[in-house]
Amino acid sequence: MPVSLQDIAARAVQARSRIRKHIYQTPLIPARRIGQEHDAKVLFKAENFQLTGSFKLRGALSKLSSPTAQGRLITASSGNHGIGAAFASKVLSKDLTVVLPETVVLAKLENIKMFGVDVILHGAETGLAEKHAQQLAASGSYTYISPYNDAEIIAGQGTIGLEILEQLNEVDNIFISMGGGGLLSGLGSVLKAYRPQTKIYGVCASNSKALAASIAAGHVVETDHLPTLAEAVAGGIDEDTITLSLATSVIDHVVECDEAEILRSVKALAVQENIIVEGSAALALAGFNQVANTLTGQTSVILLCGGNVDQDFIAKVVCSV
């Protein structure tokens, strides 16, 4: 059955009551320098400061605390959802296995293992890890939990929108990185339900843009998945994903960014704002930078979705020319 944005918004309110004792209400931080040259007010919703370093904790807690998460559970992740799900499984006493691509960032892998869950490495990218987890679940040994194609996961991500509505009286635009669409669908549904005048910008990486291409086509399409600094949003999407219709209904603009733009944005956040984030979070800023000259006098929120990075990566970025 199709899921409406009104349904997701209602579920987000319910999810918040279940998960709020386990998460941080993350700050909305005014930019020090970014946006000034265009006379645009910019604020960062800092999910990189979330308890597990990513917004993914919200969706994982929402799902694992719901009645549908029973028995032996299995999920797939590029890393951040795996960390959130592993944390949720520990605090909620759930039996969980996490399937990760063989290319997972080492820091994320170590964080997942820290919570004592079973880990399987499979495939060169997240889409292949998802298919493997689904195949294992189809054997009857597990209940599969999608990192994005699930109403309770999406509702958990939507709790970010409820916080923003309380933290900021007016928001003209919000920039959200696009992966499987759970964040875009959840946050977008809440904002469109309560503040429909807010413009939703979905930002995709040129090297892996399955959701953006599917929105443009009106149905799920496969795309090439090349290496990207925004590895947390890389990979394909399920053929039956509910995020496609939700994302299509809430999104106002799609912005596509290349690797050079993502790299510059990671560095700008570190050097100009003293904020350390991963490439998928900087992707949202890269999208803002593309259109900033059209946003004079407006208030824009940039969603910093995660900050789980290797120290060597940040050192190389900050020292780059």
Q: pLDDT tens for residues 6-65?
A: 999 999 999 999 999 999 999 999 999 999 999 999 999 999 999 999 999 999 999 999
For 157-197, write each residue's pLDDT tens digit: 999 999 999 999 999 999 999 999 999 999 999 999 999 99
- The class that CATH gives domain 56-145 is alpha beta
Any idea which fold 5-55+151-319 has?
A: Rossmann fold (3.40.50)
Residue the block writes with tokens 């969603």:
303
Over its C-alpha atoms, the chain yields an Rg (Å, rounded) of: 18
Residue 210 pLDDT exceeds 60: yes
For the residues 138-143, what does the mean pLDDT come to? 93
pLDDT exceeds 70 at position 69: yes
Q: Is the pLDDT of residue 1 over 70?
A: no
- The upper half-sphere exposure of residue 281, i.e. CA atoms within 13 Å in the direction of its Cβ, equals 28
Q: So what's the pLDDT on residue 106?
A: 87
- Work out whether strand 28-30 and strand 41-46 pair parallel, antiparallel, or are unpaired: antiparallel
Measured between alpha carbons, how far is 314 from 134 in angstroms, rounded to an integer? 34
Q: How does DSSP classify residue 34?
A: T
Query: DSSP state, 198?
Result: S
Question: What global pTM score does this model have?
Answer: 0.94
pLDDT tens, residue by residue, 94-117: 999 999 999 998 889 999 999 999
Q: CATH 3.40.50.1100 residue ranges in the chain?
A: 5-55+151-319, 56-145
User: Distance (Å, rounded) from C-alpha 63 to C-alpha 152?
Assistant: 5
Q: Which residue has the higher pLDDT, 26 or 319?
A: 26
For residues 222 and 151, which has the higher predicted lDDT (pLDDT)?
151
As a whole number, mean pLDDT of residues 212-229 equals 94
End-to-end CA distance of the chain: 51
Q: Which string of b and e fits 46-82 if b means at least 16 CB within 10 Å? A: bbbbbebbbbbbbbbbbbbbbeebeeebbbbbbbbbb
Does position 317 have pLDDT exceeding 80, yes or no?
no
212 has pLDDT over 90: yes
